[in-house]
Structure 1
Amino acid sequence: MSSCNADECTGAILEMSRIEKFSKIFSELERCKEDVQKQKILEMNKLIVDMDKEEFETIFTVHSCNKIHKIIREKKLTLVNAIVLLKHIGCCKVLKRIWIDYFEESSLNRRFKKMIIDEKKKKEKDDYFLVDLCECYLVLFDNFSSKLISIRAPCLLKVALNKEKFREIQKEAETALLALSCIAEHQFPEQELHLNEIKEIIKYHQVQHNLTQLAYQSAWQFFINRLYFNENLEEVIVNELHLAEEARKELDELSKCVDWKRKKDVRGKEKKEEIALLRWLQALVVFLSSSKLWNDEFAELIGSIVQVFRFAKDNYEEIGERCINILLKEAFESFYVKVEDFLKEGAFDVLERISQSTLNDEITISCLQFY
């Protein structure tokens, strides 16, 4: 057997053992007492972090969601423990960039909808429980009604507005903002809903640096998504909150934390810095492709994106592709980008090299059309 095939077999064995170990613990949950359940869920959560996309999609299906709902309903799994597990599953789903639309078909989806509405109606509602429910739902499921969003957004923004720098508070704010960032642009009909709060969160961090890098990116993601219904926000984003300058600083800082020399065949969990960097690039693709405003800050941002691409091109394919996607969209689709800025920041050099070396016809055509 060749060394290449041996490596592939070893990887397959490790993958199977991780999936099988998770399945075994999952099957034992309903037969355990609450304290033992909690310990097993912590073990499951560790396994989830190490899973790749394929493993994750193998483990989490409509059947597994329905099974969790069943053992909750039969009181074989406490709701507290279920939320710890489900919130972790949902956060990992978001951070691993996995779209699982079949979760909506599960009985668990219907149960959480009902619990959120019922809790909100109570005269003496449990705010902490409601926040847990809202976070859980937003990170797990991909389609939300405007009614449920109007309940969830205020709860989570209240958590995110806590300005203390304690580690636990920062973690709570990070989860709340990550959940809010999952509300897509077309799922927010109220144009001005909570914009003052999210502006306050962003502005306060720019001075006090109280958020984690992932939390700060998520706050921007939530704000940028609101552009779908309110184009006037672009002026606020560009000239008041200075998106380009902030994004440039974040990309530069995150780039320092990534091991760019990592070998291609090294498999392991992504660091939070890598995830935040990818999320920034995706948000910038959305914003820059439709932006009508351009200033010197954007020129410097293009320079940072070029630099990230040069770091990533050998060993970080997904990051490199997102950088190229931004540069191509700006070069080919935007009427507002200044050509001299592209030239100054080295974007032309990158696009020329890509057009010469790529086997992707679409990229080659886009580069040639731009020139």
Structure 2
Amino acid sequence: MSLPNNISEDRIQMMSKTKQFSKLFRELEHCREDEQMQKMEEMKRMMDEMNGEEFKSIFTKELFDEMGKNIEEKKMSIKNIVHLLKLIGYDDLSTELCSKSFNESFMSKIVQNMVVEEEKKKERMNESLLIDLCECYLMLNDNFFSEKLLSICVPNLLQVALKKEVCKEVQKDVELALTALSCISTSINVKQEWYLNKIKEIIQYHQKHHNLTHLAYQSAWQFLIFRFCEDKSFKELIVNELHFAREAIKELEELTDCRKRKKKEKKSKYRKTEKVFMRWVISLLYYVRTFQLLNEEHIELVHRLVCLHRADIKNEIEILESFVIIFWEMSGNESVCIDILLKEGAFDEILKEIQLSTSKNEIIYYCLAFYLKISDRLKEKKYDEKEEKERKELKRKVHEKIEEEGYEDVITSFYQSFDFFNNQFYFELSLDISDYFVNA
């Protein structure tokens, strides 16, 4: 049977999955508790196979409202609803597609009230339930975190994350706790006394004993890097004591090998590895915007990022775009020497991307913006005689590179597109083509 012209096959499949999932959800209220858990595992398998559009179409405000009603009407236990919420939050980590729907729902208010009420019980509180509620609150919320709830969630989840055992059950508990904490965005103020000593201990212990999963370790770092974006007081800790640059590149390389193996295994396992890889890339992006100390590890970081870019991601556009944005951020950070970007091959990778006819508009835009930032930095005259001499020598090297590799012709070929790019993106490209080149 032919499909209507205005409905694609993908759309039909999405509608089918939505219908199947909704049917399973409605069946929950008619099952015993043990049967509910079995059905939720089936729902979890469905979630593992969903794409972003499918996920968004299923987890709506109405569905979360229905969960709240099921609790009120005692059709489902809070334990089972919270279990289902954790499954949803864990699956939605990289996209945050349903957080707005949850935040506006009746279920969100129930979770928030229960966190506060459970904490008030002190010695009588159900610690396991409180942890589950905190994880749901952080993983599913839309960045509307109250200070009161954060003061409960952050210390309690870090206490779970401090567990040192390497058995699977404990590792899973630790992973969920740290993953939930990593969902607190950079714009949210978290008091240092709630977390700093504990998160430092967690990272240092893993560096010696390797007790965390890949996702748990990344989440610990993401939580800390997001705090670093707003508070530079512990840059020495992150750069020289905990060695973020060294650790990030080591993890990315391990995950690159892991992704290649997982491609041959179950799709869900590959997606999880891919998710962790992208989270490291995003953490790196925030880091290179912020750090101000240059050391050998940062030089190595540029070199290894260039190697990963060359070797790994020919058909993975989202990762490719993120790497190009990292190089662009580095080009504007005064702590990153232009000479390092030149020597370690970042210039060559940017040229390669801009020459590809298959490159996305976003990638071309950031490649052009890379050259614009480099050019701006090299035009700034130095008052110190030695520094001015170094600047002129560097200008000469960059100019020679541009001439040898044909950069000018490639960039000029996009001149007619500059207006289009400026209408699409937030950072405006100069309309003066000479601004992209350094004349020795």
TM-score by length of 2: 0.78
Query: Does the aligned pair in 1 maintain the 2:158–2:178 contact within 8 Å?
Result: yes
Distance in 1 between residues matched to 2:300 and 2:103, nearest whole Å: 42
The answer for the alignment partner of 1:283 in structure 2 is 283
Q: What is residue 17 of structure 2 aligned with on the other side?
A: 18
Q: Contact 2:100–2:141 at 8 Å: present in 1 too?
A: yes
**Aligned-residue offset at 1:268:** 4.9
* 1:212 matched to 2:213: yes
Shift of 1:100: 3.1
Where structure 2 has 5 or more consecutive residues not aligned to the other structure, the ranges are 2-6, 376-440
User: For 2:78 and 2:344, how far apart are their aligned partners in 1?
Assistant: 53
Shift of 1:23: 1.3
Q: Aligned in 2, Cα 1:106/1:99: closer, same or farther, shift over 3 Å? A: closer
State the partner residue of 1:295: 295
> 5+ unaligned residues in a row in structure 1: which ranges?
2-7
Contact residue 189 and residue 229 of structure 1 kept, 8 A? no
Determine the structure 2 residue equivalent to 1:148: 149
CA separation in 2, counterparts of 1:70 and 1:312?
48
Distance in 2 between residues matched to 1:26 and 1:260, nearest whole Å: 34
- Post-superposition offset of 1:259: 2.9
Where does residue 368 of structure 1 map in the other structure?
Answer: 371
Whole-angstrom distance in 2 between the partners of 1:99 and 1:33: 28
SS of aligned partner of 1:335: coil
Q: 1:340 to 1:114 in 2, by over 3 A?
A: same
State how far apart, in whole Å, the 1-side matches of 2:248 and 2:235 are: 15
Cα distance, 1:44–1:273 mapped onto 2, change above 3 Å: same
Tell me the alpha carbon deviations over residues 104-124 of structure 1, each in whole angstroms, 9 at most, x when there is no partner: 111111111110000000131
Summarize the alignment of residues 256-275 of structure 1 with structure 2, pairs less than 5 Å apart: 256-259=257-260, 268-269=267-268, 270-275=270-275
Q: Is the aligned partner of 1:106 residue 2:105?
A: yes
Partner deviation per Cα, 1:304-356 (whole Å, 9 max, x = no partner): 2223322444221111111111011101x201102232223221110122233
Distance 1:111 1:129, change over 3 A: same
Moved more, 19-28 or 278-287: 19-28
Query: Would the aligned equivalents of 1:45 and 1:88 in 2 still touch at CA under 8 Å?
Result: yes
| CA distance, structure 2, for counterparts of residue 320 and residue 312 of structure 1 | 9
> 1:36, 1:342 → 2: CA distance?
58
Question: Are the counterparts in 2 of residues 191 and 230 from structure 1 also a CA contact under 8 Å?
Answer: no
Alpha-carbon separation, structure 2, partners of 1:46 and 1:191: 38
Residue correspondences, number:
363
Contact 1:30 1:77 in 2 (8 A): yes
Aligned residue for 1:330? 330
- Give the Cα–Cα distance (whole angstroms) in 1 for the partners of residues 287 and 371 of structure 2: 24
List aligned pairs for 1:1-371, cutoff 5 A.
Answer: 11-98=10-97, 100-123=99-122, 124-142=124-142, 143-259=144-260, 268-269=267-268, 270-331=270-331, 333-357=332-356, 358=359, 359-360=361-362, 362-369=365-372, 370-371=374-375
The Cα of 1:303 is off from its aligned counterpart by: 2.1
> What is residue 4 of structure 1 aligned with on the other side?
none
Larger Rg: 2
Amino acid at match of 1:336: S
For the structure 1 residues 158 and 24, does the alpha-carbon distance in structure 2 shift closer, same or farther, using more than 3 Å as the test?
Answer: same
- Verify the 8 A CA contact 2:103 2:140 in the aligned structure 1: no
Structure 1: how far apart are the matches of 2:345 and 2:168?
Answer: 39
Alpha-carbon contact 1:355-1:363 (below 8 Å) kept: no
Contact 2:68 2:107 in 1 (8 A): yes
Question: Any idea what the Cα deviations from partners look like across 1:226-249, whole Å, max 9, x if unmatched?
Answer: 124421111110000000111111
> Quick check: 2:64–2:106 contact (8 Å CA) kept in 1?
yes
Task: Tell me the distance in 1 between the aligned counterparts of 2:96 and 2:344.
Answer: 30
CA distance in 1, matches of 2:211, 2:132: 22
Give the whole-Å Cα distance in 1 for the aligned partners of 2:250 and 2:89.
29
Taking structure 1 as the reference length, what is the TM-score of the superposition?
Answer: 0.91
User: Closer, same or farther in 2 for the Cα pair 1:41/1:141, shift >3 Å?
Assistant: same
CA gap of 1:293–1:99, structure 2 versus 1, over 3 A, is farther
The answer on whether the counterparts of 2:60 and 2:98 sit within 8 Å (CA) in structure 1 is: no
Tell me, yes or no, if the aligned pair for 1:49 and 1:92 is still in contact at 8 Å: yes
Identify the structure with bigger relative contact order (alpha carbons < 8 Å, sequence gap 6+): 1
TM-superposed deviation, 1:215? 0.3
Alpha-carbon RMSD: 2.4
Q: Which moved more, 1:143-152 or 1:16-25?
A: 16-25
